[in-house]
Amino acid sequence: MISKNKKKFLTSLQLKKYRILHNAFLAEGHKINHDLLNAGAVCKELYATTEWLKRNSDILPENFSDATDKELKSISNLKSAPEVIGVYEIKTVKPDVRKTGTSLILALDGIQDPGNLGTIIRTADWFGIKNIICSEDTADVYNPKVIQATMGAIARVNVSYTALESFIKNYKKETNMPVYGTFLEGENIYDKELSGKGVIVMGNEGKGIRKEIEKTVTDKLYIPNYPPEAETSESLNVATATAVICSEFRRRVLG
Amino acid sequence: MISKNKKKFLTSLQLKKYRILHNAFLAEGHKINHDLLNAGAVCKELYATTEWLKRNSDILPENFSDATDKELKSISNLKSAPEVIGVYEIKTVKPDVRKTGTSLILALDGIQDPGNLGTIIRTADWFGIKNIICSEDTADVYNPKVIQATMGAIARVNVSYTALESFIKNYKKETNMPVYGTFLEGENIYDKELSGKGVIVMGNEGKGIRKEIEKTVTDKLYIPNYPPEAETSESLNVATATAVICSEFRRRVLG
């Protein structure tokens, strides 16, 4: 049973200002709650159907309650009622140059669409990228639409927000690693030598990578269209471009 | 000026049954209208701001009218009012095995999300795939959300709906070409010999490729995760997986 006040609290977490106020975010549905609980995320409250609670008795947090389909539906963003809704603590990660410098990281420069951001996190998880650094104007990772689109990957990937330009400058100075980005005048990614370490910058859906950030890029890449002379779309969607690029980096090791 | 009746007609095209009834679909915003008009799509009606009409006087169809921001906003699905809304004739393409057999085509087996479908069309356009064959339960390509996500690519890619299983069987018999699909037990796509011709099957977001369609697949592929032993997402999003696969096919030529 979910009280009226509790319902109000839960639905308030759809909005960023209340997520910040309560330092908490919502996760809806089996997959994401299962993955978050397994990954050791701090679950403050969890509401689920009796059936779900029975089936997942081995991973339940301390503070759980049962709820009806109708109650869960009234809180949820999703079209069909989720079996479970969890409230998790937001873990504020400070990007650490020295720690991230030993691997491949993604830097997101103003990604706006929650679906794109979530899909990028899912892709990063698949290709073993553990850290994503976002500019402060990138969409909020704790937006329920983003959480949903990650399909549980948010449990395994660190996402942090920072002043991106100074982060990258500092990163370059401390680690001497390459900074990659895609540009129309970049080099054919298929032929280019790619390191297993460094930063890959992905830009805003409409405007691409900001001028200030572009200046920090050491290696400009390009995903060639086919055939090269054809009239085509101006660009790929940013989440699909991210996938193509990450795949190319990992192919050098896996292929 | 858009009359009350006309407004009713235009908003009705948000729904599939009215799109079928009128054999027409809506395109909202500059990019998609520009691309459709340039590609020679049949524009039945077009409503735009006076400024847009002036700027695009070289590509205007016969039947255009000016409209205010407020009028355009009242019809549109988008958050901000588009400068232009066009009504285009649905061109019903019958998939032709002999025509498509000479190139690479995509077959979509029950893709449900409009954003995914639109993004796949945009990706196909980028990588020179001119024909997409969909199972009859795939999302409707003329849904405004799909049209929007194609970012104009719908003007250059043929999308048709058919009984997918018999289409692929017929295709194999007539052309003897490979049929590719991704499966957990597939071969590492990075190492695999890939033809520039054939069908690439992509499956439903949750259920993957149907058993009946799986039986028609001649070459099972797998996009390896990194590092291979890591715990990771169960899969990539279908639109990003499509991009990685198409990129791999074209790399063999472009790289």
Q: Alpha helix locations (H) across chain B?
A: 4-12, 16-22, 30-38, 50-55, 69-75, 97-100, 114-126, 144-150, 164-175, 211-214, 238-254
Query: CA–CA separation, A111 vs A93, rounded Å?
Result: 19
pLDDT given at position B231? 80
Domain positions in chain A: 4-89, 97-254
Identify from B247, B250, B252, B253 which residue to disrupt to test chain A contact, counting A C-beta atoms within 10 A and taking the largest count: B247
Query: Do the chains contact at B151 and A188, CB–CB below 8 Å?
Result: no
CB of A227 less than 8 A from some CB of B: yes
Residue A127, classed as helix, strand or coil, is coil
CA distance B65 to chain A (A): 28
How far, in Å, are A109, A168, A241 from residue B131 at the CA level?
Answer: 34, 42, 21
Q: In what order do the strands lie in the sheet with A64-66?
A: A24-28, A84-89, A43-48, A64-66
Query: Do the chains contact at A151 and B242, CB–CB below 8 Å?
Result: no
CATH number, domain B4-89, options 3.30.9.10, 3.40.50.80, 3.30.1330.30, 3.30.420.40: 3.30.1330.30
Mean pLDDT computed over B27-53: 95
User: By the 8 A CB rule, do B121 and B243 touch?
Assistant: no
CB of A202 less than 8 A from some CB of B: no
Instruction: Return the sign of the alpha-carbon dihedral for residues B113, A149, A109, B82.
Output: positive
- The interface predicted TM-score (ipTM) is 0.93
Mean pLDDT computed over A132-142: 97
Class of A97-254 per CATH?
Answer: alpha beta
CB of B224 less than 8 A from some CB of A: yes
**Residues B94-104 pLDDT 10s:** 877 777 777 99
**Residues A192-206 pLDDT 10s:** 999 889 999 999 999
Contacts of A184 in chain B (CB under 8 A): none
Rounded to the nearest 5 percent, the helix, strand and coil shares of chain B are 40, 25, 40
pTM of the model: 0.94
Of B82, B53, B52, the closest CA to residue B69 belongs to B82
More confident residue, B79 or B246: B246
Inter-chain CB pairs, A–B, below 8 Å: 123
Say if residue B178 is preceded by a cis peptide, omega within 30 of 0: no
**Residues A33-87 pLDDT 10s:** 999 999 889 999 999 999 999 999 999 999 999 999 999 999 998 888 999 999 9
CA distance B227 to chain A (A): 6
> Position A94: which residue type?
K
